[in-house]
């Protein structure tokens, strides 16, 4: 059974710092891995999608990497800003036809001005 773990559960950093969020998964049979952002009481916004055959994806200040063999992904945020404060969720899409996303518990990030 696939399990997704995110470490740390919470993180507080000063503005301008570079930071890394970690995600690990137990079953490497995945289609892709997706990073989402969730603001309090709000929906999920897709940040980056990495296909199983890819090693990394970049969007602006965000860079996500995937090492399928070791079951790990990282989300790197450069030059963090207070507006980056949110919960970041990692989700893997299992191989097969269900299309189900299996989510980690998330990392809640606070960027202090």
Partner 1 sequence: EAQVTQNPRYLITVTGKKLTVTCSQNMNHEYMSWYRQDPGLGLRQIYYSMNVEVTDKGDVPEGYKVSRKEKRNFPLILESPSPNQTSLYFCASRRTGGTDTQYFGPGTRLTVL
Which residues sit at the interface with partner 1, rule CB under 8 A? 31-32, 34, 36, 41-46, 49, 51, 89, 91, 93, 95-101, 103-106
* Least distance from partner 1 to the Cβ atom of residue 50, Å: 11
CB of 102 to partner 1, least distance (A): 8
In 16-110, which ranges are continuous DSSP H helix? none
- Smaller CB distance to partner 1: residue 26 or 46? 46
C-alpha radius of gyration, the chain, whole number: 14
Of the two residues 19 and 49, which places its CB atom closer to partner 1 in the complex?
Answer: 49
Q: Cα(41)–Cα(23) distance, rounded to whole angstroms?
A: 23
CB of residue 66 to partner 1, shortest distance in Å: 13
CB 70 to partner 1: min, Å: 21
Cα 41 versus chain centre, distance: 19
Closest by CA to 88, choosing from 3, 8, 1, 2, is 8
Distance CA 83, CA 103 (A): 23
Nearer to partner 1, 100 or 112 (CB): 100
Between the two ends of the chain, the Cα-to-Cα distance in Å is 41
Q: Which is nearer to partner 1, 14 or 98 (CB)?
A: 98
């Amino acid at each position: 059974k696939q399990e997704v773990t995110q470490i740390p559960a919470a993180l507080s950093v000063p503005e301008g710092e570079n930071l890394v969020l970690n995600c690990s998964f137990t079953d490497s049979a995945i289609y892709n891995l997706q990073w989402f952002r969730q603001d309090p009481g709000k929906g999920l916004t897709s940040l980056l999608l990495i296909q199983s055959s890819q090693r990394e994806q970049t969007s602006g200040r965000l860079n996500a990497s995937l090492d399928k063999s070791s079951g790990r992904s990282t989300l790197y945020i450069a030059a963090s800003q207070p507006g980056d404060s949110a919960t970041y969720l990692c989700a893997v899409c299992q191989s097969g036809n269900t299309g189900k996303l299996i989510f980690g518990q998330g990392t809640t990030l606070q960027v202090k001005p």
